[in-house]
Structure 1
Amino acid sequence: MSDTRTPSDPPVLSDDELSALDAHWRAANYLAVGQIYLMANPLLTRPLVPEDIKPRLLGHWGTSPGLNLVHTHLNRVIKDRDLNALCVWGPGHGGPAVLANSWLEGSYSETYPDVGRDAEGMGLLFKQFSFPGGVPSHVAPETPGSIHEGGELGYSLAHAYGAAFDHPDLVVACVIGDGEAETGPLAASWHGNKFLDPVHDGAVLPILHLNGYKIANPTVLARIPEDELDRLLRGYGHDPLFVTGDDPATVHRALAAALDTALDRIGAYQRAAREDSATERPDWPMIVLRTPKGWTGPEEVDGVPVENTWRSHQVPLPGVRENPEHLRQLEAWLRSYRPAELFDADGRPTERVLARVPEGAARLGSTPYANGGLLLRDLPLPDPADHAVRVDRPGTTLHEPTKVLGGLLESVMAATADRRDFRVVGPDETASNRLDALYRATGKAWQAGTLPTDEHLAHDGRVMEVLSEHLCQGWLEGYLLTGRHGLFSSYEAFAHIVDSMVNQHIKWLRTSRRLPWRRPIASLNYLLTSHVWRQDHNGFSHQDPGFVDHILNKSPEVVRVYLPPDSNTLLSVADHVLRSRDYVNVIVAGKQPTFDWLTPREARGHCARGAGAWEWAGTEDGSREPDVVLACAGDVPTQETLAAADLIRRHLPELALRVVNVVDIARMMPDTEHPHGMPDAEYDALFTRDRPVIFAYHGYPWLIHRLAYRRHGHAHLHVRGYKEEGTTTTPFDMVVRNDLDRYRLVMDVIDRVPGLGVRAVAVRQEMADARTRHHAWIREHGTDLPEVVDWTWGG
């Protein structure tokens, strides 16, 4: 690695600046190695002995020198240019480097006063790393200045763009590991530059760190010819600056030149857009930094090469406690950084080490942009009643719930026009999901070419559509983590694409809740529509309600799931989740015409309870317990339940029937398992202890059983839901195929109420005949039975 490509006419570092930067870099490298290995003797005041070494060696050295180099040089430009900056650290387990730099700059000790910036604090920093009761080996919520989980490969650049949107004074550097660069989400993330508005947004500076290897293999982008890599990155719309080398002084000078050149170009593009109204999309700069993996570490161990190979990825000297030669090599490695020049006798970093480090909130570990709750403002939300639909009688009028919600979201978008802290993201489905009222308040973010036939595209738009759920999720996470609000609208079946991403965000929120210094952020809100029961036209591939199951497997303190049955309950739920903090909220609501069941006032009360009996739908007289409970959750299951109740009222009027609707699905859990769970006494009062409960559920039926398995009445609980019976068919045939239809529910009541089967045999046969008639009708006419299509609530 002898050649070094640098920008033309690079600024030149003085020898004094070079010396200060190199001292800081060496100090950070020393601290990174110390964290991986040492539990005592942090300043090497005596020769190392096996007892100084941790019994379990965990951590990742290979990427650390490069991350330390980037952090060192970002410090310089932040201080020299008075930048507001944030860095997203993409390489997986780069924790030792980011923690080292946070400790050096003082942010870590200010956040955790027990880990002081002295010898004792250094010892604690070392011991706690990857140690029981300590901190993780990757960049995590515990790391000051971080918004990106270090093991979350593929999403760093999407997070960086999300952080830059609507923060016009912010520069977001993003270090992308060359292993991460092989992932599909990262490959799509390069297109973020087609959505970045140089007027209203900040800048993203990608830094592609090529050190050649993953855990055990070379990386693709490090092994293709450099001219091919250059063409690839230019094809993505970037203007790459290459820095390559293994001589520290040469690389320091080249990286400083590249950063200055990149920031000069960013500033020029922003001034042209903001002052001269330039509209041409910039060729935003980026840096390709190629340095050896495990740089400055052991060149060989046990006779095999380590530095600049995959063997340096994790712990280059694995047998330090047992192998005297490994212990000798470790001590030589640590002393090669000349720690006596970097730390004084008390273990404090010297003035030379800190000469180019910014102060206060300018430090990367102290930036408020990485603790978004510090910047967060409440959304100016309208009263949901202002957008509600009128309901004179339940079940007689229909509206499209998400279209009604679109009016409320339009109001929020208009009210945030000046402050620009609310966005709606989705994979090309905003209009399809009936949220197109938003376009009256804003356009769709777009910086690429336009045609006269295009609609709603705008440089300053705050609706973001791209056919990549990963980008939508990553953008919104970055946006929320830096102090703003948003909503992710998606077809229900394809929310699964971001399963692993929402896993990490939930874990981030759960950990953040335990860190008093991390302020609450706006919740991550999903609107899942075009759902399983109304994907009759798209067919089996679009029919999957399992995202709710995935979410409810996660930390109860963080996750919430709502299934509003109509437009007014959707408005109430949306108002609630948009006000909430530190949750992942999932709303499942249809976009097709749905019956209006509750008035705005009734909807507000029902949603506050989360579950309740609809007295107007049942036949109880209050003198005794019901004979049977018909329960439901979800818009289509609610309609089928009410239709079944209507049939029971007409055919079995002597039956004492209770109808229960559940909006907040966590209410089915005990209060000991989830904050929204019902105490047993409340559950028993609503569902009874020993009466049959026929539950029509939106998703997979076993979820309800899992949530309620500890309840007294679980043996009497029978759940109908989706059971993977789908195809291209009619809407009602979807529920018939899955035994969720009104006729099947009536049959279930007859089968499960003691003694009713004998008395109501004729009614049961009539229900079975209706299902048979349905099958013949749809195959002849291609539409559902008139009695189904024309049904309204007759109670």
Structure 2
Amino acid sequence: MPRYGEAFLSTDEVQLIDRYWRAANYLSVGQIYLLDNALLREPLRKDHIKPRLLGHWGTTPGLNFIYAHLNRVIKAHDLDMIYICGPGHGGPGMVANTYLEGTYSEVYPDITQDEDGLQKLFRQFSFPGGIPSHAAPETPGSIHEGGELGYALVHAYGAAFDNPDLIVTCVVGDGEAETGPLAASWHSNKFLSPKHDGAVLPILHLNGYKIANPTVMGRMSDDEIRHLFHGYGHEPMFVEGSDPAMMHPLMAHTLERAIDRIRAIQASARDGRATVDRPKWPMIVMRSPKGWTGPKEVDGLKVEGFWRAHQVPIVNPRGNPEHLSLLEEWMRSYRIDDLFDNAGGLLPELQALAPQGRRRMGANPHANGGLLKHELKLPDFRDYAIDVPHPGGTEGEATRVMGQFLRDVIKLNAEARNFRIMGPDETASNRLDAVFDVTERVWMEGIEPYDVHLAQDGRVMEVLSEHLCQGWLEGYLLTGRHGLMSCYEAFIHIVDSMFNQHAKWLKVSRTLPWRRPVASLNYLLTSHVWRQDHNGFSHQDPGFVDLVANKKADIVRIYFPPDANTLLWITDHVLRTYDRINVIVAGKQPSPQWLSMDNAATHCDAGIGIWPWAGTEDTGSEPDVVMACCGDVPTLETMAAVDLLRQAVPGLKIRVVNIVDLMTLQPKTQHPHGLDDRDFDGMFTRDKPVIFAFHGYPNLIHRLTYSRANHAGMHVHGFEEEGTTTTPFDMVVLNRLDRFHLAIDVIERVPGLGITAAAIKQQFRDKLLEHTTYVRAHGEDMPQIRDWSWPDRFTKHTVD
């Protein structure tokens, strides 16, 4: 077996790899163009061509070239390697290569390794009822949705963390390299431990053009590129040219050097020889023409090596005989008889170039992470419960209690190394700092004596980029591990598009029997809209849940725990789920605790419930008004409003409904957690006013309940895009979510109260004026607001 770093390819080996590459290129062109005549057994006719030509050729031959050479190095050194295809529409190449290695036919048995299978392979590509034009969940070996650019490299690093024997090769297109997330992703190497993690081998593929323009990096000189990536912490190695006879040996030699360097870095770290200095990891910069091996010109215009090669180089073969002839010439230039036998199978000497079994990149279990997933060891969440002698009888910080639970999750799974927490520099700020009792933040740079909670072996990953945190976590989950991301609520919007792509991935992968379930993507959103006392309007936005609620019911869950014990139950629950996206919105500030652990478990299991101890309705009769609340601050203000009304209007029959699982508001036919109409009507009535205090934008509640019988009776208070740097209570007053506005709304909505309780309504309005004057004079909320607590006398009868 050759040693790493040797340049050794013989002429015969170069020719074999070149033939394999030509086969992948032929299959890629066939997918874009052909409906029939898969092996060109007869002259190409227009009825052999698809009526709609969809797909992207320009990046594909470079991807195929890389794949063929990775096959060689995997076989030569028995490497455990996966391939992440960054160029957005490289699907033809990824499908072609997984077909050639045999994985595709194993996953999809109807796509056989013969002429009939080729016919089906070609027809399905970008065709109704078929497969997308990009690497997608349907593509074996893929953990990366290629439909949007920017996330390939961060997914690669997420896959490498805690995978010590894995090499993740990530091809970054020069168009993708212009995106902000990708630019930040180069810093991921500062978080990669050569001792405990695998390696990422980035290959920056510079073909010079994107859709209709040159690329920035494509026009940079080698010297600029070298300095840039040296500054990023990489050792760039260059592979450049257009002559395959020269490029094949150069690529083989460069890959050997790169693998040799990776192994040397890891060996030094793992046998104790590594210094504290962060290593410079290798990367490859490959320059090759866009649309390599395709037509040089079409209609007298430059194609190969120009942006016209980006999508479909020959645009009208069905309607233009010259185009049809040019397409046939192009496809026959790959010398089909030198690639496939009479039955349409890849020739044996070419089949032998691919790795075997799970070493094939399309069959590597890391790219189907559910095959490797082990359940987390979880402590009993009940052991962390806050004692609640009666509702509102104590205060606590919900996320601080959650942090204690997560601390022991990390501790119990330390040996398995399959759980990490990601967040943009906010773990301590979000009150999860108990985790630092058992772990540190991972940090591969130098550590000063005065630094705290930094170590090369940390389980907490913090970087001030939501894109990186999200991408790391996605790559980590998709390769079989577990995790959680915490973030300030307002800034989770930065990853809206990444959330969209992951939700789409899960939706599709759930329909593919061969894709095994992966652990859920779990968000904790805290430092939320209602408690931004010093940050102000820029930090006040609860709208991420609106985006989440748009997704398929099988995928998303949204939780608003009102206190610490409910948050504990929910945290335990989401860490046990799979193939979901769970969003938890919970405050970190001291607040009243409402439910004992037993009551919290019962309440969370249902997702929604009446709090009989809070209301005044008679058993067996309907209330005059339903006061609903969803979220910790809305619950607090609702309870305070109930207190006001119980004292001021003692005959009023009030029902209090608390919602933990937002999706229970949807009909059962729309979401598996939804209430059926009978249960919903029993809880909210069919015709009584419902004063609904909601954490987010009011329109979301109306969207979720629009088909309910009592939708017209829903009067929702929530965030009205009013905010500033102010006191906590003034913030809710600005948005009419406060206790006084809620109580006033009850008086205005309950028939008859508008007249009989007019004086009380005026008292509440006077209190709002008093509040405004007070906070502007003193800079803090009035004592009767700050010191309010739920009266114990209101709950004694339920305890008895």
Give TM-score, length-normalised by structure 2.
0.98
- 1:661-696 deviations in Å (ceiling 9; x for gaps): 000001111111111111000100000000000000
Distance 2:700 2:618 in 1: 32
Q: Is the 8 A contact 2:47 2:318 kept in 1?
A: yes
1:732 equivalenced with 2:729 (yes/no): yes
For the residues of structure 1 that align with 2:224 and 2:59, how far apart are their CA atoms?
24
What aligned pairs does 1:502-521 form with structure 2 within 5 A after superposition? Answer: 502-521=499-518
Say if 2:195 is the partner of 1:221.
no
Q: How does 1:243-392 map to 2 (within 5 A)?
A: 243-278=239-274, 279-392=276-389
SS of residue matched to 2:308: helix
Please tell me the residue identity of whatever aligns with 2:95.
Answer: L
SS of the equivalent of 1:544 reads coil
Distance in 2 (alpha carbons) for counterparts of 1:188 and 1:417: 29
Q: 2:662 aligns with which of 661, 665, 670?
A: 665
Partner of 1:71: 67
Task: Assess if the C-alpha contact under 8 Å between 1:84 and 1:170 holds in 2.
Answer: yes
Quote the residue 1:756 is aligned against.
753
**Could you tell which deviates more after superposition, 278-287 or 348-357?**
348-357
1:138 and 2:134 aligned = yes
Is contact 1:23–1:352 with CA below 8 Å preserved after alignment? no
Partners of 1:304 and 1:237 in 2: CA distance: 41
Counterpart of 2:583 in 1: which secondary structure? strand
Which runs of no fewer than 5 residues in structure 2 stay unpaired? Answer: 795-800
- 2:23 aligned residue: 27
Distance (Å, rounded) in 1 between the aligned partners of 2:789 and 2:475: 45
Cα shift at 1:623? 3.7
Which of 79, 91, 108 in structure 1 is aligned with 2:87?
91
1:423 is displaced (CA, Å) by: 0.3
Matching of residue 173 in structure 1 with residue 169 in structure 2: yes
Q: Name which of structure 1's ranges 576-585 and 275-284 shifts more when overlaid on structure 2.
A: 275-284
Name 2:149's counterpart in structure 1.
Answer: 153
Partner-residue secondary structure (3-state), 1:407: helix
SS in 1 for 2:530: helix
Question: How many Å separate the matches in 2 of 1:627 and 1:712?
Answer: 17
Query: Does the CA contact (< 8 Å) of 1:33 and 1:61 recur in 2?
Result: yes
1:606-647 Cα deviation digits (max 9, x unpaired): 001010000000001214100000000000000000001111
1:352: how far off? 2.4
Counterpart in the other structure of 1:683: 680
Secondary structure of the structure 2 residue equivalent to 1:660: strand
Query: Which residue of structure 1 aligns with residue 764 of structure 2?
Result: 767
Secondary structure, aligned partner of 2:533: coil
CA contact (8 A) 1:395 1:596 kept: yes
Deviations 1:29-77 (A, max 9, x none): 0000000000100011110011100000000000000000010001011
- Counterpart residue identity of residue 766, structure 1: Q
CA distance in 2, matches of 1:698, 1:39: 53
Inter-partner Cα distance in structure 1 for 2:62 and 2:711: 57
Mapping for residues 44-55 of structure 1, pairs under 5 Å: 44-55=40-51
State whether residues 691 and 716 of structure 1, in contact with CA within 8 Å, keep that contact through their aligned partners in structure 2.
Answer: yes
SS of match in other structure, 2:388? coil
Aligned to 1:3: none
For 2:597 and 2:250, how far apart are their aligned partners in 1?
64
Contact conserved, 1:430 with 1:436, CA < 8 A, in 2?
Answer: yes
Aligned to 1:448: 445
Alignment of 1:623-634 (within 5 A): 623-634=620-631
Counterpart Cα distance in 2 of 1:618 and 1:355? 75
One-letter amino acid matched to 1:752:
R
Percentage identity across aligned positions? 63
**Match status 1:401 vs 2:398:** yes
Are the counterparts in 1 of residues 5 and 254 from structure 2 also a CA contact under 8 Å?
Answer: no
SS in 2 for 1:534: coil
Residue identity in the other structure for 2:491: F
Q: Give the CA RMSD over aligned residues.
A: 0.9
> What amino acid is aligned across from residue 73 of structure 1 in structure 2?
H
Cα distance in 2 for partners of 1:23, 1:484 equals 38
What corresponds to 2:564 in structure 1? 567
2:490 equivalent in structure 1: 493
What is the alpha-carbon distance in structure 1 between the residues aligned to residue 677 and residue 622 of structure 2?
A: 17
Instruction: Name the residue aligned to 2:591.
Output: 594
Partner of 2:798: none
After TM superposition, what 4+ stretches of structure 1 lie above 6 angstroms from structure 2? Answer: none
Residues 5 and 256 in structure 2, CA contact (< 8 A), matched pair in contact too: no
Give 2:234's match in structure 1, choosing from 238, 260, 265. Answer: 238
Structure 2 letter corresponding to 1:178: D
Structure 2: how far apart are the matches of 1:232 and 1:686? 62
**Is the 1:171–1:202 Cα contact (8 Å) retained in structure 2?**
yes
Give the C-alpha shift of residue 457 in structure 1.
0.7
Equivalent AA in structure 2 for residue 538 of structure 1? N
The worse-fitting range, judged by mean Cα deviation, of 688-697 and 222-231 is 222-231
* Cα separation, 2, equivalents of 1:767 and 1:435: 38
Q: Deviations over 1:343-394 (max 9, x none)?
A: 0000000122223210101001000001010000111011110111111011
The one-letter amino acid paired with 1:280 is D
Equivalent position of 1:714 in the other structure: 711
- The answer to whether the Cα contact below 8 Å between 2:5 and 2:257 also exists between their aligned partners in 1 is no
Describe the superposition over 1:308-341 as per-residue Cα deviations: whole angstroms up to 9, x where unpaired.
0000000000000011111111111111000101
Structure 2: distance between partners of 1:505 and 1:151:
11
The farther-off stretch of 690-699 and 220-229 is: 220-229
Q: Distance in 2 between matches of 1:45 and 1:739?
A: 74
Q: Residue 182 of structure 1: which of 178, 182, 202 is its match?
A: 178
Within a 5 Å distance, the mapping from 1:453-472 to structure 2 comes to 453-472=450-469
Q: Quote how far apart the aligned CAs of 1:557 are.
A: 1.2
Q: CA deviation at 1:219?
A: 0.2
Alignment partner for residue 199 of structure 1, among 192, 195, 214?
195
Helix, strand or coil at the partner of 1:533: coil
Distance in 2, matches of 1:588 and 1:309, equals 49
- SS in structure 2 at match of 1:532: coil
Partner-residue secondary structure (3-state), 2:575? helix
Counterpart residue number, 1:120? 116
- 2:778 maps to a residue whose letter is H
The one-letter code of the counterpart of 1:162 is G
**CA positional deviation for 1:12:** 2.5
Partner secondary structure for residue 108 of structure 1: helix
Contact kept? 1:27, 1:353, Cα under 8 Å: no
Q: Secondary structure at the match of 1:615?
A: coil
Partners of 1:532 and 1:240 in 2: CA distance: 45
CA deviation after TM superposition for structure 1 residue 452, in Å:
1.2
Amino acid at match of 1:373: G
Structure-1 separation of matches of 2:556 and 2:501: 13
Distance in 1 of aligned mates of 2:83 and 2:439: 29
Q: For residues 149 and 250 of structure 2, what CA distance do their matches in structure 1 show?
A: 28
Contact kept in structure 1, 2:563 and 2:594, CA below 8 Å: yes
Which secondary structure state, in structure 2, belongs to the residue aligned with residue 198 of structure 1?
A: coil
Counterpart of 1:330 in structure 2: which amino acid? L
Preserved CA contact (<8 Å) 1:20 1:355: no
Amino acid at match of 1:53: I
Question: Which amino acid is the alignment partner of residue 227 of structure 2?
Answer: R
> Does structure 2 retain, via aligned residues, the 8 Å contact 1:61–1:312?
yes
1:337 is paired with a residue whose SS is: coil
The counterpart of 1:638, out of the listed 635, 638, 652, is 635
